[in-house]
Structure 1
Amino acid sequence: MYCLSELVIYPVKSTQGITLTSSQVVDSGLWGDRRYTLINPVGEIITGRTHPQITLIAGKQLDDSRWRFSHPTMKTDLLLDKASFFDVYTDIVVWEDAVKAQFTAETANLWFSQIAGEDVKLVHFGDASRRFTHRKPDVPVGFADGYPFLLTTESSLSELNRTCTQSIKMAQFRPNLVICGNHAFEEDKWKRIRIGSVLFENVKPCIRCIFTTLNPQTAERIPKGEPLKTLGKFRLLEDKGITFGINLVALNKGTIQVGDDVEILEYQEAHSYVDRR
């Protein structure tokens, strides 16, 4: 039997994940997931790919509108209250998508700028913000790379670690949903699944980048370019890239929780991979 073993949100894009026992599924993702991002002075997003130090920022939800953020190098935490934001927006770019993002607070800008080592601003995906996925143009998405949900499985991570020279943690792949009980990379064949009462559809494999080579505890690069080096030997999708996990959209709303059964409703033909290990 397949089961949901982990639920994770990332309130600010590229910061540490928050593990939950239950979460509300909405059209644009898990509630609270990647509703904030950092931008540079010209409106480009700042991520852990170029600023690994921000991946050590930890968040804690205090209530529906307030978050507390901390970082190992900062003497004081940041308290962020959405209720205090001004209704002022700026134009930013998220992976070639033009998005209107809401300014937050100058105290947040200063706090995050100290960590980033340059002038950055924290912006919010506010009520006036709009963005949609490319393959499903009627499906909204916040500041996630491309799709509202990323699913990975414990067995696929185990298969990677079977031949990888380094011990790889699931946190390096930054999933929202982690499934247990399946065979390795069986998720490639899942077209539609149900978790609890919520239906999800597999849109595409998730193409992985250098972000996965960051140690989630230290923000340092993992030796030998892992896990990309090993994944490249057996998870290289021709003309696309190296894959691990699948991008999903939700077909309805509802609450899901760790321990929920996962039912495979429809299968599809999986992409073909050559194992060169």
Structure 2
Amino acid sequence: MPLTVSELAIYPLKSCKAVTLQSAKVNLSGLEFDRRYMLIDEQGMFVTARNHPTLTLIEANIAQDKLLVSHPDQAKGITLQPANFSCRYADTEIWENKVQGQLTEASVDTWFSELLQMSVRLVYFGEQSERFTSRRPDRPVAFADGYPFLLTTQASLQELNSSGPQTNEMARFRPNIVISGNQPFAEDSWKRIRIGGVIFENVKPCERCIFTTLDPVTAERSKKGEPLKTLAKFRLINGEGVTFGVNLIAENEGCIQVGDTVEIIEYQEPHSYADKR
């Protein structure tokens, strides 16, 4: 069975609900429009659904050069348009990475502050914003946690679901690219792959956090700590974190689409995991 792309997704606002796509433009910094907006607190620290689960219920849809944002708890949505944003930038921080975020509009800040019941500002990854990945400091990344692309596979999700008490949706893991047709966790051994005309490199396994315990439909947190509890039985790395999916960088730009064949250009020796299931 050939390896193919089964899903593509972006998250225009960091922590928002996924926007599924049939095709996507690949920029070096990530899929076009992916994680270009982010909330920050009064100290400039990034704000995510790890501490504010309701953010996962935000719908943020692209409409030409605008972003249409809504939430079930807000009577009215808002429309964001970069042409109307401030020329000023704010100092922000993501996992100890300093980055300048372009300020948006005061009314937008009010909308989000009312939603979260705390003072926040929305920033945009504008022309003066600049950030790079840690292991590949020559490769840009926007407001994603650490790397511009996250790849997961259907087979690995099925293996996880057959190993624990809970059926997990792929949406919990917030991937950009989902692959079908491989054996479970075969992606660990893919060093370089080609999708369409774009070549991606697997930089590192993606260590997962409490975000994955949020139900993507209700934003409720798992009381049993799933799926982290099950992953810890067979995907524990360095005695600390658990992994699911791989972080990628792109070697070139182009377009990819659902149904594209995935070619493995180069393999690598995967990390060895102790299986305690």
TM class by smaller structure: over 0.9
**Per-residue Cα deviation, 1:253-276 (whole angstroms, up to 9, x for no partner):** 001000000000000000000110
- Give the deviation of 1:113 after TM superposition: 1.1
Report the residue type matching 2:9 in the other structure: V
Structure 2 spans left out of the alignment, 5+ residues:
none
Cα deviation, residue 240, structure 1: 4.7
CA displacement at 1:224 relative to structure 2: 0.7
Residue matched to 1:38: 39
Matched, 1:58 2:59: yes
Q: Is the 8 A contact 1:102 1:125 kept in 2?
A: yes
- Runs (4+) of structure 1 moved beyond 3 Å? none
**1:232 match:** 232
Aligned to 2:169: 169
Gaps of 5+ in 1: none
Report what 2:11 is aligned to. Answer: 10
- Give 1:223 shift: 3.0
Q: Which residue of 2 aligns with 1:68?
A: 68
Alignment partner of 1:115: what SS?
Answer: helix
Q: Which residue of 2 aligns with 1:257?
A: 257
How does 1:42-191 map onto structure 2 within 5 Å?
42-63=43-64, 65-191=65-191
Evaluate the alpha carbon distance shift between residue 239 and residue 233 of structure 1 in structure 2; reply closer, same or farther with a 3 A threshold.
closer
Q: What displacement does 1:55 show?
A: 1.0
Q: Root-mean-square deviation (CA), in Å? A: 0.7
Task: Calculate percent identity across the aligned residue pairs.
Answer: 56
Quick one: distance in 1 between partners of 2:194 and 2:145? 23
One-letter amino acid of the counterpart of residue 70, structure 1: S
Deviation string for 1:172-228 (max 9, x for gaps)? 000000000000000000000000110000000000000000000011012310000
Cα distance in 2, alignment partners of residues 210 and 150 from structure 1: 17
Q: Deviations over 1:53-76 (max 9, x none)?
A: 11100011110x201011011110
1:246 is aligned to: 246
- Describe the SS at the equivalent of 2:51: coil
For each residue in 1:2-34, what CA deviation from the matched residue of structure 2 results, as whole angstroms up to 9, or x when unmatched?
Answer: 000000000000111100000100010000000
Deviations 1:139-163 (A, max 9, x none): 0000000000000000000000002
Residues 197, 256 of structure 1: 8 Å contact kept: yes
Give the TM-score normalised by structure 1. 0.98
1:207 and 1:240 in contact (8 A); partners too: no
